[in-house]
């Protein structure tokens, strides 16, 4: 290698170059990232799709209630909200997770948007956290809209005063489940560099896979599936229904229901380990 | 100390394939360095290691003396990088995308606004500032990428084939932008396989092939390699010059070591004696009223060295 002997004179125009600004701390960058990503979600077709799903689920449930007037549902507000909220929100959380989170990390590689961000003085975990927060916020908006629709519908039967703390407690549990599910979705998304794989695997796992494993473990092997995240979603309905027996046997088949503590521990545990592993994967992933 | 870039035994293997092979290179000061090499030479892989997009198998990359591998955030804080024509979130406008970049770099909102207007004007995208990026052509997106690279006025610029996707006019504008960016306190390091682009804007060139650095030198020295110690310069005249006029009026000028004809209006001159001699010859030719309309370092010199070095690499 030859050491260059600089001979050329570079023009000196304008003020000396120097980087403007002082780079913010990583958490602050994560929040900044989430703001812009959230804005991107709100303007995207996927948000319209998600709102369409909220509208469809709401319409189906409202039509059934209005048409059949099931006494078990419209008899009291606890049964009404317990049935309609719980059955709708569990599905919505899965859809929101898949739609907002399925390609969140894989898409950065496939769509090359990662190149725009990763050349900046940003730690990788800030990008991961920012995208997680944005997906979380977008999902929260959709389940929030669903909740508002239900409250509006419910008030036609029971009035606005019929709202109870049960609904608030169930909402908090749903948010906890959302955080665990999104953690898992982000982990799957970090495993791939192709969005389609991420979305497909997450959709299959959450819509069929985990439920199937749950059933097989309980019915065939008699093992409590405490290590499956979807097992914990039952606690979302507990504020309305009360906590069922942990173990029930019927026709030779053992069924399990998580306790409050167990359900909450599973959700927190899933959020923590999936987020940690997902982050580690993203830290080591290369933009080749 | 000026801005600097340094690769210390930087190596990257993909299985048995060695993409970058113990690259050691230090570039320092206010200058523009062209990073040349054929497709697959390892240029982009090197730049990706400088921005922590991929990790070296061995060795380390430094920006302003700070290790990219150990202190990514600090190292990249004084560096603007454009690698592989990135995509911007389609629903954002250029202004919003630049706001995000500015905010992540810690620029205050007012500063971001004024710099956004400046850099969008520089890349001729002002009228599209508030349109959604998703509707833009590849070339328009690349202009926004360039704008985002310039936003924080970084000391070090890493540009990976910045004119990719641009039409000829766009490519010329990118060259113009890079020339305008050359100033005190800024180091520009850009990869390209377009030799004319490098000759137009660079002071020094590093040639990479099969992951190995073949040479790193000033353009003048590269030119001297093919012209026997002198610098090869192309001189263009308004009207054709006869050999007699060339011999009498040009070959006799002190500093002109030799000449050859490129066509009836253009000559290739070998100038001996460095930049001072070039200046003297230029002044002499201009004073002779021969209709001199162009005088620049020969592009063919770099091309000659490039082809020679690459073919040596191929036969090795």
**What was the pLDDT predicted at A76?**
84
Which residues of chain B from 135 to 154 reach within 8 Å of chain A, CB to CB?
145, 148, 152-154
- Residue B168 inside a domain? The answer is yes
Q: Is A113 on the interface with B (CB under 8 A)?
A: yes
Domain match, B186 and B250 both:
no
- Residue B306 inside a domain? The answer is no
Whether residues B3 and A17 touch (CB distance < 8 A) is answered with yes
- Highest mean pLDDT: which range of A275-279, B217-221, B300-304: A275-279
Q: Which chain B residue's Cα is nearest to A5?
A: B218
**What was the pLDDT predicted at A123?**
93
Neighbours of B165 (CB within 10 A): 17
pLDDT bracket for residue B175 (50, 70, 90)? confident
Domain match, B253 and B156 both:
no
Mean pLDDT along residues B115-131? 92
Whether residues B74 and A288 touch (CB distance < 8 A) is answered with no
**Cα separations in angstroms, A92 against A53, A98, A145, A181:** 8, 10, 11, 12
pLDDT bracket for residue B226 (50, 70, 90)? low
C-alpha to C-alpha distance for A195 and A287, rounded to whole angstroms:
15
B130 pLDDT more than 60: yes
Domain match, B48 and B29 both:
yes
Mean pLDDT along residues B121-125? 89
DSSP state of B69: T
Instruction: Going from the first residue of chain A to its last (288 residues), give the mean pLDDT of each consecutive group of 10, the final group possibly shorter.
Output: 39 47 86 93 93 94 88 84 91 93 90 90 95 97 95 86 85 96 93 85 87 86 89 92 84 86 96 96 92
Tens-place pLDDT, residues B1-35: 689 999 999 999 999 999 999 999 999 998 999 99
Domain ranges of chain A: 26-284
Structural domain count of chain B: 2
Domain match, B131 and B81 both:
yes
Tens-place pLDDT, residues B270-296: 888 777 888 899 999 999 889 999 998
Strands B204-209 and B31-36: what pairing? parallel
Let me know: does A86 contact A237? Beta carbons within 8 Å.
yes
Domain match, B245 and B152 both:
no
C-alpha to C-alpha distance for A127 and A275, rounded to whole angstroms:
13
Handedness of CA A117, A119, A121, A127 (dihedral sign): positive
The enclosing domain of B131 has a CATH number of 3.40.50.300
Interior angle at CA A88, CA A87 and CA A94, nearest 5: 105
Q: Which two tokens stand for residue B148?
A: 């985002």
**What was the pLDDT predicted at B50?**
96
Domain match, B178 and B242 both:
no
User: What is the complex's ipTM, to 2 decimals?
Assistant: 0.82
Domain match, B69 and B148 both:
yes
Whether residues A286 and B53 touch (CB distance < 8 A) is answered with yes
Domain match, B111 and B248 both:
no
- Residue B222 inside a domain? The answer is no
* Structural domain ending residue among the three candidates B177, B193, B217: B217
Q: Which chain B residue's Cα is nearest to A118?
A: B53
Mean pLDDT along residues B103-118? 93
Whether residues A10 and B30 touch (CB distance < 8 A) is answered with yes
B299 pLDDT more than 70: no
Q: Return the closest-CA partner of residue A18 out of B30, B25, B84.
A: B30
Let me know: does B57 contact B49? Beta carbons within 8 Å.
no
**What was the pLDDT predicted at A15?**
46
Mean pLDDT along residues B140-153? 91
Let me know: does B102 contact B112? Beta carbons within 8 Å.
yes
Domain match, B246 and B193 both:
no
* Structural domain ending residue among the three candidates B217, B238, B269: B217
Q: Return the closest-CA partner of residue A93 out of A48, A134, A54.
A: A54
- Residue B39 inside a domain? The answer is yes
Mean pLDDT along residues B160-173? 83
Chain A positions in Cβ-Cβ contact with residue B217 (cut-off 8 Å):
2, 4
Interior angle at CA B163, CA B72 and CA B113, nearest 5: 60
- Residue B135 inside a domain? The answer is yes
DSSP state of A287: -
Q: Is B191 on the interface with A (CB under 8 A)?
A: no
**What was the pLDDT predicted at A4?**
47
Radius of gyration of chain B (CA): 22
Radius of gyration of chain A (CA): 24
Domain match, B210 and B293 both:
no
- Residue B312 inside a domain? The answer is no
Helix (H) or strand (E) holding A247: strand A247-250
C-alpha to C-alpha distance for B145 and B40, rounded to whole angstroms:
23
Question: Mutate which of A11, A13, A19 to disrupt the B interface (most B C-beta within 10 Å)?
Answer: A19
Range of the domain at B237: 228-297
Question: Mutate which of B26, B28, B49, B91 to disrupt the A interface (most A C-beta within 10 Å)?
Answer: B91
Q: Can you list the positions of beta strands (E) in chain B? A: 4-14, 17-28, 31-36, 58-63, 66-67, 79-82, 156-160, 187-192, 204-209, 212-218, 231-237, 256-261, 266-271, 292-297
3-state helix vs strand vs coil in chain A, percent to 5: 75, 5, 25
Domain match, B151 and B252 both:
no
Let me know: does A276 contact A122? Beta carbons within 8 Å.
no
The enclosing domain of B246 has a CATH number of 3.30.70.100
**What was the pLDDT predicted at A268?**
97
Neighbours of B255 (CB within 10 A): 20
Whether residues B184 and A10 touch (CB distance < 8 A) is answered with yes
């Amino acid at each position: 290698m030859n050491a260059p002997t600089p001979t050329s004179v570079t023009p000196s125009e304008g003020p000396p170059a120097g980087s403007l600004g002082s780079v913010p701390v990583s958490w602050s960058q994560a929040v900044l990232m989430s703001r812009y990503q959230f804005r991107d979600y709100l303007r995207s077709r996927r948000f319209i799709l998600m709102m369409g799903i909220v509208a469809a689920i709401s319409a189906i449930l409202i039509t059934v209630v209005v048409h059949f007037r099931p006494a078990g549902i419209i008899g009291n507000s606890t049964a009404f909200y317990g049935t309609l909220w719980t059955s709708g929100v569990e599905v919505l959380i899965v859809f929101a997770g898949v739609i907002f989170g399925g390609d969140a990390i894989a898409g950065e590689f496939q769509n090359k948007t990662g190149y725009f961000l990763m050349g900046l003085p940003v730690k990788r975990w800030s990008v991961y956290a920012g995208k997680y927060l944005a997906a979380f916020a977008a999902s929260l908006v959709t389940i929030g809209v669903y909740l508002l629709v239900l409250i509006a519908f419910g008030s036609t039967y029971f009035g606005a005063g019929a709202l109870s703390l049960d609904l608030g407690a169930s909402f908090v549990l749903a948010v906890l489940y959302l955080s665990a599910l999104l953690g898992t979705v982000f982990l799957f998304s970090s495993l791939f560099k192709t969005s389609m794989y991420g979305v497909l695997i997450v959709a299959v796992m959450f819509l069929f896979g985990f439920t199937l494993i749950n059933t097989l473990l309980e019915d065939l092997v008699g093992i409590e599936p405490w290590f499956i995240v979807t097992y914990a979603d039952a606690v979302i309905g507990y504020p309305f229904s009360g906590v069922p027996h942990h173990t029930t046997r019927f026709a030779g088949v053992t069924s399990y229901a998580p306790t409050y503590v167990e359900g909450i521990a599973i959700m927190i545990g899933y959020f923590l380990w999936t987020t940690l592993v997902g982050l580690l994967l993203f830290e080591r992933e290369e933009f080749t | 100390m000026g801005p600097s870039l340094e690769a210390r035994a930087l190596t990257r293997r993909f299985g048995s394939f060695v993409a970058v092979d113990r690259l050691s290179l230090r570039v320092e000061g206010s200058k523009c360095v062209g990073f040349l090499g054929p497709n697959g030479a390892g240029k982009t892989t090197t730049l990706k290691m400088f921005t922590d997009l991929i990790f070296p198998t061995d060795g380390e990359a430094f920006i302003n003396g700070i290790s990219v591998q150990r202190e990514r955030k600090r190292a990249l804080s004084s560096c603007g990088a454009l690698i592989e024509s990135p995509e911007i979130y389609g629903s954002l406008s250029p202004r919003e995308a630049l706001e995000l970049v500015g905010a992540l770099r810690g620029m205050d909102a007012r500063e971001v606004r004024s710099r956004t207007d400046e850099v969008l004007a520089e890349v001729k995208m002002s009228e599209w500032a508030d349109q959604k990026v998703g509707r833009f052509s590849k070339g328009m997106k690349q202009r926004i990428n360039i704008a985002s690279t310039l936003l924080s006025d970084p000391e070090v610029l890493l540009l990976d084939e910045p004119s990719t996707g641009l039409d000829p006019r766009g490519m010329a504008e990118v060259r113009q932008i890079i020339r305008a960016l050359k100033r005190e306190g800024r180091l520009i390091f850009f990869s390209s396989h377009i030799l004319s682009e490098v000759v137009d804007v660079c002071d020094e060139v590093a040639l990479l092939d099969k992951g190995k650095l073949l040479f790193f030198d000033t353009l003048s020295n590269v030119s001297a390699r093919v012209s026997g110690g002198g610098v090869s310069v192309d001189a263009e005249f308004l009207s054709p010059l006869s050999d007699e006029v060339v011999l009498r009026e040009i070959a006799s000028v002190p500093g002109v070591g030799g000449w050859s004809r490129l066509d009836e209006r253009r000559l290739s001159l070998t100038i001996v004696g460095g930049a001072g001699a070039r200046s003297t010859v230029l002044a002499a030719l201009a004073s002779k009223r021969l209709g001199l309309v162009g005088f620049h370092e020969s592009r063919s010199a770099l091309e000659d060295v490039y082809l020679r070095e690459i073919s040596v690499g191929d036969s090795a």
